[in-house]
A and B are shown apart, each in its own frame.
Chain A
Amino acid sequence: MTALSLFLILLLLLNLADANFFEASQAFLKSAFGGRKYAYLYVTISRCALITGMAIAALIAFRAGLINIGGEGQLVIGGFIAAFISIYSGVTGVAGITLAILSAMIGGGLWAVLAGLMKLKLGVPILVGTLLLNYPARYITSYFVSHPLRDVSSGMPQTHLLDKSLWLPFVEGTRLDIGFMFILIVYAFVLVYSYRTVPGYHAKMTGLSIEFAATSGINIFNTTLKTLAFSGAIAGLVGAIAVLGIHHRFTDGMLVQPLYAWTGIVAALLINLVPWAILPAGFFFASLTSGASGMERTADVPKEIAIIIQGIIILFVAARATSIASGSKKKEEGS
């Protein structure tokens, strides 16, 4: 039913945009999953890695009841630190990559912990703290790449290119860097963490009922900070992957404009914070973005159509989730 109505809406939209359905869908599929030597598919996978990473960062915090919407700030800090360390530490090769990634993760983690401390010590809600910390992250890094660390010759607010030995290598025979493998590892790690470990269990209980968790002896202070550090570190890692694997430098706004962090949050909410579903959700949003730009290129369908579809899908899912929730509520009242 849902699928059918979605399809009808899609047809209607394409009709309005004066496009042929088959042509448009062909263009969509090709640019999401095809291309010469699967070039487009690789772009989708690499975008999927970034979105999934940010979705995981959001999911971990949300499950613990910490509404960390500051993924963007943590991502930017991570990416900037990765670039900064890579360029100025002088360490090259695998050691340099490791150093850059670890520092990015520590940076992102600390940025999130800052919001946690603001909550625990000053009572600033996590939602507000994390959101507001996005701005200093963005503008501090913007200042650095516009002035002291700028690659003046490039004419853009960006750092110098990293040393080639620090670029993440391609998977053999493809044009796909190994960044997505890090995200796969994180994905596996998070599945184990959420379903099978004591800290994951503590975080879940804290998220479901903080009073219950506290009464039962869970240390809320530690759980909050640890979870935020974990969430921020993953966002930092995503920043490092984008710098080391895709852009090979830090350009002002390059992690903000594609809305990785916000798409990640939407993806995490869309699947109702169920950990295993985060990878398919990330892939879905990545394909949608890739496919839409292809549709615009070849079938002359505005990419906004895809954004509208994305919005409608979210509405459908949200409506269904609410109706399920209210259905079970009715049952309770019967007791």
Chain B
Amino acid sequence: MLAKLHDISVNFGEVRALDNVSLDISPNQIHAIVGENGAGKSTLMSVLFGLNVNYSGQIFIDEINKNWSTPSDAIKAGIGMVHQHFMLIESMTVLENIILGSEPNKYLGFLDFQFAKKKLYDLLRTYNFSINLNQTVGELSVGQRQMVEILKTLYRSAALIILDEPTAVLTPAERADLFNSLQDFKNAGKSIILITHKIDEVMANADHVSVMRSGQLISSLPINSTSRGQISDEIVGASKTKSISRKKIKPGPVKLHLSDLDVLGMPQIGNAFNLEVKANEIVGIAGVAGNGQAELVEAIIGLRSSKSGLIEICGTNVTEVDISTRRDAGLCYIPEDRQKRGLALDAQLSENASISLLASKAFAKGPFLRKTKIKNFTEDLIKKFDVKASSSSALANSLSGGNKQKLIIARELSLESDVIIAENPTWGVDLGAINQIHYELLSMRENGHAILLVSSDLDEILTLSDRVLVMFESELSHSFRTEKVTREELGELMLMKASEKKKRKRQISHEAI
């Protein structure tokens, strides 16, 4: 399918979200669209998919001018979209989810499951998918759910498939599987649009890459006439990156100490945790999500209790005390889930910024809030961390993802706590912000703070950490000095599980067929 977007513009109130964007999507291609959060990628796709109908400009599908009024028009024309957040009903089976909305009917309106099954088995065979159609979606892994979403578009005979940040939630092995499938689709004559942040994926898999920035299309080139450097420059625009380098510092005294910590409710049965983080040191915990990192972090913060063992912050035993006492002892926390744990989205920036410091009485006089002080403090944070916000009284929800994360990091780092727990601090954040966040964490390290970095991004771990541990099936490996370990060695420790899981998955699908 040849899709042409011509002079598309979209306004949200006074903000110009898309500014005369023209783009051609050719068949037999993986077309990557890259750009920072808020660059307009998703808006453009929502126009193409019929989710947003308030645009000016034209859409041509195979040279015919189309006007969608709902996504179902776009689906009928052969466009399929896999959203970043899956739209599946967990309690229904794979088959039921796939046919939902385009059910094959027999006489009297009965469902023709056999017809659907036959069509799906053909698709499974053609593209080498292994999935049990009768399993409920709730039992599937994230990667398998994504496969269901893709199958859904194929079942509706999509010739153009839009994938919005498809790899954000996948393990490395699942990621490889996905890209293999995408190559197969491409060879079968389909067009693929891949929206992503990750330049590595683009370089390795795409045929064509378009870069968007602030609502405009900056470039659209075949992959072999551009380069990594050029793409990242185009994404960020004027160079605003600070240089990232980890200076050699001798670590100071132990600030965070876990001994024989046995955390309640770990996902697998593992050993108790032993860990030390010293001042002037960043210790990284690498691992595929779901191996117990989240639970360990919760235990350290105080959101989860422990069966036995000891947590010490700056020499104080905090195993039994509540969160605010732990924070007082010198702990701060940059949570992975910034929408729920990091911010109250419907509260003002100043309310979000001052929450952690209220306990220290800096912003209160008796029971009363010191509003001016809070406002000044928030404005300082916004300025210092370059958070793009209209004012300190704007709602947190009005910020883009990267700016939300900057605000959280600004708040937590301003506490000057001895121990900093950073959990996937740059997840889903754009390049410019990643750079800045890394820079800030490294300068905290130089200023004598002890940082525990939990991340599923191996590059991030290797850039920032002095020592690395791998979390696998609720067990921590011993720690490696970053200079003395290779990516491959760490990758192997992390992926053991993924490969085992794949074996198991294959067995299941064999039994099913």
Contacts and interface: CB of A to CB of B under 8 A. Distances in A.
A199 interface: yes
Task: Name the prevailing secondary structure of the B interface residues.
Answer: mixed
Interface string A185-210: 00000000000111101101100110
B221 interface: no
A331 B13 contact: yes
B359 A217 contact: yes
Interface residues of B, number: 43
B37 to A, nearest CB: 6
Contact of B343 (A201, A209, A331, A333): A209
B111 interface: no
Contacts of A330: 12, 52
B342 A197 contact: no
A198 B401 CA distance: 28
A229 to B, nearest CB: 16
A208 B52 CA distance: 29
Interface string B464-506: 0000000000000000000000000000000000000000000
Nearest to B39: A335
A219 B345 CA distance: 20
A308 interface: no
B346 interface: yes
A136 to B, nearest CB: 33
A218 B324 contact: yes
A208 B345 contact: yes
B345 A209 contact: yes
A217 B397 contact: no
Contacts of B17: 334
A214 B347 CA distance: 15
Interface in B1-18: 10, 12-13, 15, 17
B341 A215 contact: yes
Nearest to A331: B12
Given A208-B345, A335-B38, A217 B327 contact: yes
Interface in A279-329: 328
A23 interface: no
A201 B358 contact: yes
A197 B368 contact: yes
A335 B400 contact: yes
Contact of A197 (B51, B322, B359, B367): B367
A213 interface: yes
B344 A198 contact: no
A196 B324 contact: no
Contacts of B322: 217, 219
A18 interface: no
B22 interface: no
Task: Name the prevailing secondary structure of the A interface residues.
Answer: helix
Given A217-B324, A333-B42, A334-B12, A212 B351 contact: no
A209 B368 contact: no
Given A217-B324, A331-B13, A335-B400, A212 B344 contact: yes
Nearest to B339: A209
B46 interface: yes
Interface string A216-232: 11110000000000000
A98 B337 CA distance: 50
A213 B335 CA distance: 13
A215 B355 CA distance: 10
Contact of B341 (A208, A211, A219): A211
B323 interface: yes
B43 A201 contact: no
Contacts of B335: 215
Contacts of A217: 322-324, 327, 355-356, 359
Contacts of A172: none
A216 B342 CA distance: 8
A198 to B, nearest CB: 5
Given A330-B12, A332-B397, A198 B367 contact: yes
A205 B324 CA distance: 15
Contact of A334 (B42, B345, B397): B42
Interface of A: 196-199, 201-202, 204-205, 208-209, 211-219, 328, 330-335
Q: Which 3 A-B pairs have the closest CB atoms?
A: A217-B324, A208-B344, A209-B344
Given A209-B341, A209-B345, 7 more contacts: A198-B368, A204-B347, A208-B347, A216-B356, A328-B397, A330-B52, A334-B15
7 contacts: A201-B358, A212-B340, A212-B341, A213-B355, A217-B323, A217-B356, A219-B324
